[in-house]
Amino acid sequence: MDVSQYLEIFIDETKEHLQSLNEQLLILEKEPENEGTINEIFRAAHTLKGMSGTMGYKRMQNLTHNMENIFSEIRNGKMSVTATIVDLLFKGLDALENYLANISSTGDEGTEEYTDIISQLDVCLKQGLGEMPAAAPAANAAVAVAVEEKAAEASSDKEKYRAFKYADHEKHAMNEAIATGQHAYGITVFIQETCLLKAARAFLVFKTLEGLGTVIKSDPAVQDIEDERFEFDFSMVLITKESLEAVKKAIMSVSEVDSVYLSEIKADEIVMPKEEVVEQKQETAGATQAAVAQAPQAAAEKKQTTQNSKPVVNRSVRVDIEKLDDLMNLVSELIIAKNGLVSINNADESAKQDNSGFNEQIEYLERITTNLHTSVMKVRMVPLESVVNRFPRMIRDLSKKLDKKMELYISGEDTELDRTVIDEIGDPLLHLLRNAADHGLESNEERAALGKPETGSIILNAFQEGNNVVIEVKDDGKGIDAEKIKAKAIAKGTITAEQGDAMSDKEIIDLLFRPSFSTAEKISDVSGRGVGLDVVKTKIESLGGDVEVRTTLGQGSNFIIRLPLTLAIIQSLMVELGTEKYAIPLGSIQTIEDIPVSDVKYVQTKEVINLRGTVIPLIRLNEVLDVESVKAQDENLTVVIVTKGDKLAGFVVDNLIGQQEIVIKSIGKYINNSKMISGATILGDGEVALILDVNTLV
């Protein structure tokens, strides 16, 4: 059965089920006796098993089946929920997520079996049912595997093909061949060292093999072999229907071939290069626990490689049917309005004299397009929930890893953001949460000594504020010590001691957002590599937002992210410079002022104004943008006061045109963009106006 058409649905639904499993499992960990939860888990696991089976993902089905067994016993009351079981189940979920990631990027579940997880699940099951003593058998089995691996390794220095790194298309070719009942053989041929024409011999070997099947890879490359650029051996991968023996015989029939090593490449070897498997199995021999930890890691590496390739599934948005109905209604109205205009046009002259009907229709049309725009925007909106719902699980894992008690409170997860923003915001939030958990919260003992509740709180709060969405990541930890940062910055040479003394605490804390600035004394794998905060800042700024931090020493920190509701359409102020028109995003405009020329002062030869007690630098846009000003020098300057974070600047413009809703377009990659222009928009008369990037100009 061809199930590819269901792939998208499968991926979406699997994601939902995995998410719900994660959530329910977290609840189960806290309330092991909660019957409703275990029923829910069982149902989700069962559905998942059924779905993956139907789609032909056997490995995924197998793993789910083993997990389901445990759920089933727990449900029947034959097993109790222990920390080990929950940990193991979480690992199982991670493995399932890896399968899913593989499927959505390649359409195939991959070849990782996660046998270690499955065998541990099995052990757990039997243990829980009182059928088997401690984990010894699993360890034994693992040792056996390791011995086998070592034996294999001994001969592997001759079997050079084992060191092959396969490109994706080669793996694909092999997988396909194996699936269609052919064999993939790794072959290393040694030619007698007395051989004079080794290239010719190699050519004969290739010729023989080509007669049997297809050579998909060779080392050295075929061209190098033909040019005799190799020692006395070469390796290749052959896909053929013939048996191993037949291939060996065929190669040996070429004269002056010294020896040949070959073996079949199994499907599971294809994805993981040989050395990695050996390494991992040896870990298994050492400690079963360690191996389990290894598996997700190896999987994570793999995930990274797959993420680079283009996903096979289109990105989709699930849309509430009501939102679509709204759209449909608006489009119908649009048609009616158009017909209204047509009929006015067709009406006789006397009616045309009377403009009121026409104006009425125009107004009607305007109302519809505005509503239509809002509706379409709503369709693109996704609740923040889809990003944050994986965080409780992450905090749980971090809590165990860092040995700190902590709890994540999420509120406002129903706040909606544009799909493009949602896709990008996950990583920055992850960074901030990790920071809060690792650097923000004190250790259990410290907290107790300070008289704080032992369990630290991390609060993720989201809400809408005008045209922005605000996301806060708060913790009740130790806060940020400005003195410490100052000392560090001076030590690192980021600032001088004099500069440090002149800086306010806020300015010093902002240093945290500079590239490679980490104050963690010891580098942990959770955070502290000094790449965190500046990456967060860059990412959020690229989304058109900004991030600030408020902190009270000893009481905690609060990172505040402000993001625009949508990226594609923004409100802007249109201004005129000479004969040119530019748009300034309304979100970054604070006020518009009329300043008498006589009020302009100079500080270090730069023009500034003193506006209600604040000194604001002036930026003459016509100079920055090389516009010839046609306007005679007035007595008053029109100054648009813009903000970047808490920095203010005044843009001097020639004229204000007014507020307008604009659609952002890119200006193309060929034209050299100085970054002062963030895009372009098309005005009502078809003219192109450029959008100024306030962040770069200030």
| Candidate ranges 103-111, 299-307, 503-511, 669-677; the one touching other proteins (CB under 8 A) | 669-677
Which of 414, 465, 498, 626 touches other proteins by CB under 8 A? 626
End-to-end CA distance of the chain: 60
Provide, rounded to whole angstroms, the least separation between the CB of residue 584 and other proteins: 14
List the interface residues with other proteins, window 197-226 (CB under 8 A): none
638 — phi, psi (to 5°)?
A: -90, 120
CA–CA dist 108, 664 (Å, integer): 38
| Candidate ranges 17-25, 33-41, 437-445, 625-633; the one touching other proteins (CB under 8 A) | 625-633
Provide, rounded to whole angstroms, the least separation between the CB of residue 664 and other proteins: 10
Provide, rounded to whole angstroms, the least separation between the CB of residue 340 and other proteins: 25
Provide, rounded to whole angstroms, the least separation between the CB of residue 690 and other proteins: 7
Which of 146, 686, 694, 698 touches other proteins by CB under 8 A? 686
CB-based contact 420:569 (threshold 8 Å):
no
Short-list 51, 37, 54, CA closest to 1: 54
Cβ closest to other proteins, residue 403 vs residue 626: 626
Three-class SS state of 185: strand
Which of 687, 693, 696, 698 touches other proteins by CB under 8 A? 687
Question: DSSP of 625-664, one letter per residue?
Answer: TTPPP-SPP-SEEEEEEEEETTEEEEEEESEEEEEEEEE-
> In sequence order, what E strands does 350-503 have?
381-383, 406-411, 416-418, 456-465, 468-475
Burial, 531: exposed, middle or buried (Cβ in 10 Å; 0-12, 13-18, 19+)?
A: middle
| Candidate ranges 113-121, 133-141, 646-654, 666-674; the one touching other proteins (CB under 8 A) | 666-674
Cβ closest to other proteins, residue 280 vs residue 678: 678
Strand order, beta sheet including 556-564: 406-411, 456-465, 468-475, 556-564, 546-552
- For position 688 contacting other proteins by CB under 8 A, the verdict is yes
Cβ closest to other proteins, residue 521 vs residue 626: 626
Cβ closest to other proteins, residue 255 vs residue 674: 674
Q: Which of 46, 65, 172, 373 is catalytic?
A: 46
CB-based contact 589:641 (threshold 8 Å):
yes
* Number of shown-chain residues binding other proteins (CB under 8 A): 24
- Alpha helices per DSSP H over 473-527: 482-492, 497-502, 505-510
- For position 676 contacting other proteins by CB under 8 A, the verdict is yes
DSSP label at 436?
Answer: I
Provide, rounded to whole angstroms, the least separation between the CB of residue 675 and other proteins: 9
Cβ closest to other proteins, residue 579 vs residue 636: 579
- For position 666 contacting other proteins by CB under 8 A, the verdict is yes
List the interface residues with other proteins, window 306-335 (CB under 8 A): none
- For position 580 contacting other proteins by CB under 8 A, the verdict is yes
Q: Which of 23, 29, 40, 68 is catalytic?
A: 68
List the interface residues with other proteins, window 8-47 (CB under 8 A): none
| Strand bridging mode 647-653 / 614-620 | parallel
- For position 674 contacting other proteins by CB under 8 A, the verdict is yes
| Candidate ranges 38-46, 220-228, 443-451, 663-671; the one touching other proteins (CB under 8 A) | 663-671
What are the b/e assignments for 64-80, b being 16+ CB within 10 Å? bbbbbbbbbbbbeeebe
Q: Which residues are within 8 A (CB) of 261 and not within 5 positions of it... i.e. 6 or more apart?
A: 155, 158, 159, 161, 187, 188, 190
- For position 684 contacting other proteins by CB under 8 A, the verdict is no
Cβ closest to other proteins, residue 519 vs residue 673: 673
> Alpha carbon 318 to chain centroid distance?
19
Short-list 101, 99, 234, CA closest to 161: 234
CA–CA dist 435, 556 (Å, integer): 12
| Candidate ranges 321-329, 394-402, 480-488, 621-629; the one touching other proteins (CB under 8 A) | 621-629
Cβ closest to other proteins, residue 238 vs residue 627: 627
| Candidate ranges 112-120, 349-357, 648-656, 675-683; the one touching other proteins (CB under 8 A) | 675-683
- For position 655 contacting other proteins by CB under 8 A, the verdict is no
CB-based contact 170:299 (threshold 8 Å):
no
The answer to whether 65 is a known catalytic residue is no
| Strand bridging mode 677-682 / 655-663 | unpaired
Which of 163, 212, 624, 698 touches other proteins by CB under 8 A? 624
| Candidate ranges 32-40, 435-443, 472-480, 672-680; the one touching other proteins (CB under 8 A) | 672-680
- For position 627 contacting other proteins by CB under 8 A, the verdict is yes
- For position 605 contacting other proteins by CB under 8 A, the verdict is no
The answer to whether 435 is a known catalytic residue is yes
Longest dimension (CA), the chain: 107
Which of 677, 694, 695, 696 touches other proteins by CB under 8 A? 677
- For position 574 contacting other proteins by CB under 8 A, the verdict is no
Q: Which residues are within 8 A (CB) of 546 and not within 5 positions of it... i.e. 6 or more apart?
A: 540, 561, 562, 644, 645
The answer to whether 68 is a known catalytic residue is yes
CA–CA dist 397, 414 (Å, integer): 24
- For position 623 contacting other proteins by CB under 8 A, the verdict is no
Cβ closest to other proteins, residue 298 vs residue 625: 625
Short-list 70, 77, 2, CA closest to 34: 77
- For position 189 contacting other proteins by CB under 8 A, the verdict is no
- For position 670 contacting other proteins by CB under 8 A, the verdict is yes
| Candidate ranges 329-337, 483-491, 590-598, 676-684; the one touching other proteins (CB under 8 A) | 676-684
Q: Which of 22, 102, 175, 435 is catalytic?
A: 435
User: H/E/C letters for each residue in 274-301?
Assistant: HHHHHHHHHHHHHCHHHHHHHHHHHHHH
CA–CA dist 239, 444 (Å, integer): 59
Cβ closest to other proteins, residue 518 vs residue 678: 678
678 — phi, psi (to 5°)?
A: -95, -10
- For position 625 contacting other proteins by CB under 8 A, the verdict is yes
Identity of the residue numbered 341: L
Q: Which residues are within 8 A (CB) of 174 and not within 5 positions of it... i.e. 6 or more apart?
A: 166, 184, 216, 237, 239, 265, 267, 270
Cβ closest to other proteins, residue 315 vs residue 669: 669
Provide, rounded to whole angstroms, the least separation between the CB of residue 693 and other proteins: 12
Provide, rounded to whole angstroms, the least separation between the CB of residue 686 and other proteins: 5
Catalytic center residues:
46, 68, 435
| Contact positions vs other proteins (CB under 8 A) | 580, 624-627, 665-674, 676-677, 680, 682, 686-690
